[in-house]
Structure 1
Amino acid sequence: MCVAPMAILPGLASAGSGGGILGGLSGLMQGFGGWGTALTAASGAVSTYSAVQQGNAAQAAAEAMARQQDAAAKDSLRRGEDEAEQRRRQGAAIMAQQRVAMAANGIDTSAASAIEQLDSTKGAIEDDAFAIRKNAAQQAGTYSQQAANSRAEGADARSAGMWGAAGTLLTTGAKVGSKYSEWARSRTTSAGYA
């Protein structure tokens, strides 16, 4: 229902000595079905605003969590690469010690058996480095999935807030409309139009 601003002024002006502006507002509220109707509408507006704000706040919190999870995923990959590289450096030192030990024992390091042993050590080192990187990638994947889940939860919370607000608006509108209909019906009956 739309009320022209100019239609409100006579109600306020008619308050005159009967209570000033409060009297005018009281008369105006009685004209719209009473203070209960106004309070119902105000409560609905506050609830609607609150539902939207709660949804937005939940989405913002979920997005902040998702950013942290994305950062953890990147950090996991970086640490995996660092650890794999460190394992390779340790492996290179072990292979150097093996060559020195072979030479000290009179073994030709270019002989097939020495090369086979060094290749075996190198393979084990690369397997370790690969496992480190693979574990880091799996952990990063878990963090990335958690970030996606957080974003989905945030979107759901925002949507729920909007739907809650819409529901509150509809419920409040129905309550106010019902009260107004009752008031209008009572005015029509009291005016002798029934």
Structure 2
Amino acid sequence: MCVAPMAILPGLASAGSGGGILGGLSGLMQGFGGWGTALTAASGAVSAYSAVQQGNAAQAAAEATAKQQDAAAKDSLRRGEDEAEQRRRQGAAILAQQRVAMAANGIDTSAASAIEQLDSTKGAIEDDAFAIRKNATQQAGVYSQQAANSRAEGANARSAGMWGAAGTLLTTGAKVGPKYSEWARSRTTSAGYA
């Protein structure tokens, strides 16, 4: 924006005649269409900046939430593996007790019926361990999806902040532009360029 130096002088001249600095600024602002125009422009700039900052803050908060959800997913998998391993150890103890009980009752543990019963117990133990891991994996998947959703919400908030800032700047320009154009025309006309 180009300001004619002579447009500023009347306002500054009033500063020396008792108007003070405020009088000088008042003259300067009147040259741009008045205080209202200047305040509208400043308000638009502050609102645009605020919209961007709100979007960035929302994105940062969403990313922090997503990191917590990622950690919960990893923890779910780790706990699932730990619980499955614990179930296998418990199962090994049960198998040992079954063998001892069979031997104490005079059952040959290498006989087909004994092997079949022990295999059935082993299968049930592995089924339990698999179910534990599967449930943990499903829970981890839920946390991972929540993390992805949080990141998408953060990206949307940031984008909304940017678009909000752009809209504010355009609206402010639409409000201030005609006043500036009117001022520029009046300066051109008063300078004899019409």
CA shift, 1:17, in A, is: 1.7
Percent of aligned pairs with the same amino acid: 96
> Greater CA deviation, 183-192 or 70-79?
183-192
Give the match's secondary structure for 1:18.
Answer: helix
Structure 1 length-normalised TM: 0.91
Give the match's secondary structure for 2:18.
Answer: coil
Hey, what's the Cα distance between the residues in 2 that align with 1:58 and 1:113? 65
Contact 2:10 / 2:27 at 8 angstroms: preserved in 1? Answer: no
Structure 2 length-normalised TM: 0.91
Q: Could you report, residue by residue, the CA deviation over 1:13-54 in whole angstroms, capped at 9, with x for unpaired residues?
A: 552123121110000011110000011011001101100000
Change (3 A) 1:119 1:17: same
Hey, what's the Cα distance between the residues in 1 that align with 2:5 and 2:99? 97
Change (3 A) 1:164 1:127: same
Hey, what's the Cα distance between the residues in 1 that align with 2:43 and 2:163? 17
CA shift, 1:193, in A, is: 7.6
CA shift, 1:191, in A, is: 7.6
CA shift, 1:5, in A, is: 8.8
Q: Could you report, residue by residue, the CA deviation over 1:40-93 in whole angstroms, capped at 9, with x for unpaired residues?
A: 011001101100000000000000000000000000000000000010011011
Between the two proteins, the alignment pairs up a number of residues equal to 194
Hey, what's the Cα distance between the residues in 2 that align with 1:5 and 1:135? 76
Instruction: State the match for 1:123 in structure 2.
Output: 123
CA shift, 1:6, in A, is: 10
Give the match's secondary structure for 1:17.
Answer: helix
Change (3 A) 1:8 1:112: farther
Hey, what's the Cα distance between the residues in 2 that align with 1:19 and 1:169? 33
Change (3 A) 1:192 1:121: same
Computed over aligned residues only, the root mean square deviation of the Cα atoms, in angstroms, reads 2.3
